[in-house]
Amino acid sequence: MKRSDLTLTNENYRLTPDVWGDNCIMIDEDLVIEKFAEGFGESIEAMEEILDDPNTKPDSVEIATDDDGNYYIILEPFRSNDGKWHNTDLYRPCQNPENAIDGAAEIYSNKWEHFDDEED
C-alpha cells in the first residue's frame, strides 16, 4: 500500500504499552487504565505507573482511512539521540475508533507493514 492511498483523519492516539501487548490503541486512556486495573487486580495508580514507564514504549499513532472505509494506524516516527530515525513508514489495519469499547480499539494485524515506495 502507498501512503498516498490513505487519508488522515487528524486523530492521534497512543498504543497500549508493550507490557499489555501492542494490540490496541488507547482511545480513552483513563478508561483503558481503569479496565486493565480491574482485569489485573491492580490499583489504578499501579497501572498509571506502568503506563508512565518509558520502557513500555507508549508510541503514538495517527489514524487514516482508505477509499473503502478501512481504518489504519500509522506509527509516528521519532529521532533517537544519535540522530537516527525510527518507526518510519509503518502502518497496520485497525478497528474504527468510533466503535471501540472499553476505551481501546483493536489492531488487526500482528506485524507492522511498510508502505510501498511512493516512486513507481
Q: So where are the chain's domains?
A: 3-114
CA–CA distance, 98 with 103 (Å, rounded to integer):
10
In whole angstroms, what is the distance from residue 53 CA to residue 64 CA? 28
pLDDT in tens, 25-54: 999 988 988 888 888 888 888 888 877 777
φ and ψ at residue 84, rounded to 5 degrees: -80, 140
Q: Model confidence over 64-108: pLDDT tens digits?
A: 999 999 999 999 888 888 888 888 999 999 999 999 988 999 999
Which has the higher per-residue pLDDT, 115 or 22?
115
Least confident of 57-66, 89-98, 111-120: 111-120
What pLDDT score does 70 carry?
A: 97
Model confidence, pTM: 0.83
